[in-house]
Amino acid sequence: YLLQQAHYRRFRQYAVLPQLKPSLVWGHMKALHEISLRGRPGQHFDDTALDIYESLGRPPVFVVDLRPVSYAILVVANHEVAEQISRVSPLFPWSVTKSPTNHANDQLVGKDSMNVKEGEDWKALRKRFSLGFAHQHLMTLLPLIMDKTWQFMKHLDSYARTGEDFPLGVLLTNLTFDIIGVVSLDVDFGAQLDKAHQSEFIQVYQQLVAAFEGQDNPFPDPKGRFRRWRLSGKMDKLLTEMVKQKLSEYQRLDSKNKARSIVALASNDSEPTTPDTLGMIVDQVKSFIFAGHDTTSILLQWAFYELYRNPGVLNAIRSELDGIFGPDPDPAVVRDKLLSGEDDTMARLVYTSAVIKETLRLYPPAGTARYSKPGTGFKLHMPGDNRDVDVDGLVLYNCQNIIQRDPAVYGETADDFVPERWLGNTDTSMKTNDDLAPGEKSGSKVPGSAWRPFERGPRNCIGQELANIEARVILACAVRRYDFTKVGLGELDLDANGHPKLNAKGVYEVKSKLYNTRQVTARPIDKMMMRVQLNPNASFDI
Ligand code: HEM
């Protein structure tokens, strides 16, 4: 009986869906391992998925069976299929429910996190915190973001002075960590300070994240489990104290000087702070930290790298900044103009926004995994062959890395870094053909569902506007002040005279390919090792 069951699960249950040849014992684990060995050491699953996709002849979806160690996964490689998962449907009023695999991060984000809640509980949380993430409100927090960006540039200045190699990824991750602290809770985590002056919270958090590395290992790891449990308890204790203190501070402020952090906006003066409310707020702050710092840092790491490799793009972004802020690359000029209250300066950073959008297309840091329980009756419509497939019991993974490189959408330049594709009418906000009135045309050059780094539908990223504001501010301040040089993996291939070689597409040739690895998120494997020089027109005085 058991053999028959195993045979059914491996060879017949999902046989209508494209997949590699499964083995009775290992499912696809062995094949996956072999494919990843042919790839680059430590590469992210998304890169392995791309290889499988190519080897299967580019199907819209395919199955990777990891049972019994994990679930059978449906990797979604087509934007029209991905959209059916993220949008509202009669079976799922707030899009398909999140996958149980998301609970692997419970100790980092908390079990009451907006990330994992469902139904009315999720809706109430989302509503409560949305106000703080609105563009207008975030713009009032700009001085805090600027202040933290200044600290980041001081670090870059000191590396420019010494000329030593440094991990840009670490600097950016500390910067985005600090930004989340001040914006969400009005707390300075001091992540950008040296070890002796950093808050205890950041140190415990970093140890906890490190304890999560290697958690994909399928074998029991009691020592790792215990370490994660101990550190997450410690982190909760520290954060609960901070939140408690902040809530009582907020309550003491009079109505004229109201606190402006995201948590302050979401807390209600007349509501008593019960242990439940406190726990709920702590879990949301943990979620904002988890979802909001690494992702934005990864976006910026790849943006700086692509600007370094694409001299034409670097010139174009610099001339946009010259046009808006004047030719002086002094970031104080940028700061003063952005803080002057002329709200349209942000909106005028059109090419800078295109650089951000193109970076997120080629290097999406996060993704979404959903799950429809067996027996629900959820079906996906396959484009092309006009059939519906039952996908209950599969983890549904929208693989942005494949979807956003689809040549059917992005043409021959699908794998190239071309911010220009985002100029003109390229609105990829929520509208899809389904949302349009009869006869209405979206007019966008790119279908909205084919660009989804923040995912789409009701459970899209609540922090996307914050990430966009941060990225624009940091690029506007740093892009003209510094010249970066990649060292190690991904560095330029120089000719006999020491000059970079420009290829036919206007991109510098590299000696080796830089790629992402998985450490909770998809991030550059070498922490983006760089060297930096001050632009000859800039001075060390900021
Ligand atoms: C470049 C930066 C970012 C990227 C690429 C990104 C991406 C995403 C994605 C793909 C999701 C959907 C996850 C899922 O369905 O499981 C998501 C959700 C979420 N993000 Fe972001 N994110 C970014 C920045 C931020 C920031 C700055 C914050 C907050 C401070 C944030 C907070 C959240 C939260 C709370 C959710 C869960 C929303 C819900 O379930 O209602 N993210 N993000």
Express each pLDDT in 125-145 by its tens digit: 999 999 999 999 999 999 999
Residue 36 pLDDT grade (very low, low, confident, very high; cuts 50, 70, 90)? confident
Instruction: For the beta carbon of residue 102, count every other beta carbon within 10 angstroms.
Output: 18
Question: In a 10 Å sphere around its CB, with 0-12 CB exposed, 13-18 middle and 19+ buried, how is residue 33 labelled?
Answer: exposed
Element (H, E) at 222: helix 222-252
302-315 pLDDT, tens digit per residue, is 999 999 999 999 99
Q: Is the per-residue pLDDT at 217 higher than 70?
A: no
Residues 6 or more apart whose CB falls under 8 angstroms from that of 33 comprise: none
Closest protein CA for atom 21 of ligand 1: 461
Instruction: For the beta carbon of residue 64, count every other beta carbon within 10 angstroms.
Output: 25
Closest protein CA for atom 7 of ligand 1: 454
Residue 342 pLDDT grade (very low, low, confident, very high; cuts 50, 70, 90)? confident
**Contact of 422 with 362, CB cutoff 8 Å:** no
**What is the distance, to the nearest Å, from the Cα of residue 172 to the centroid of all Cα atoms in its chain?**
14
380-418 pLDDT, tens digit per residue, is 999 988 899 999 999 999 999 999 999 999 999 999 999
Asked whether 180 lines ligand 1 (CB < 6 A), one says yes
Least confident of 198-202, 342-346, 365-369: 342-346
Closest ligand 1 atom to 470 CA: 27
Asked whether 104 lines ligand 1 (CB < 6 A), one says no
For a substitution probing ligand 1, which of 284, 286, 353, 461 has the most ligand atoms within 8 Å of its CB?
461
CATH topology (fold) of 129-361+457-534: Cytochrome p450 (1.10.630)
Asked whether 78 lines ligand 1 (CB < 6 A), one says no
Q: At CB < 8 A and 24+ separation, what contacts does 324-331 make?
A: 324/348, 324/349, 325/476, 328/537, 329/480, 329/481, 329/535, 329/537, 329/538, 330/481, 330/538, 330/539, 330/542, 331/149, 331/150, 331/153, 331/477, 331/478, 331/481, 331/542
CA distance 292 to 91: 30
Asked whether 451 lines ligand 1 (CB < 6 A), one says no
**Contact of 424 with 96, CB cutoff 8 Å:** no
Residues 6 or more apart whose CB falls under 8 angstroms from that of 26 comprise: none
The pTM assigned to this predicted structure is 0.95
Closest ligand 1 atom to 98 CA: 16
- Order the strands of the 368-371 sheet from edge to edge: 61-65, 72-76, 395-398, 368-371
Asked whether 395 lines ligand 1 (CB < 6 A), one says no
User: What pairs with residue 26 in β-bridges?
Assistant: none
Q: Is the per-residue pLDDT at 269 higher than 90?
A: no
Residue intervals of the chain classified under CATH 1.10.630.10 are 129-361+457-534
- Say if residue 461 carries a ligand binding annotation: yes
Task: Give me the half-sphere count of Cα atoms (radius 13 Å) on the Cβ side of residue 62.
Answer: 23
Residue 455 pLDDT grade (very low, low, confident, very high; cuts 50, 70, 90)? very high
Closest protein CA for atom 9 of ligand 1: 454
Closest ligand 1 atom to 122 CA: 41
End-to-end CA distance of the chain: 74
Please, what is the average pLDDT of the chain? 92
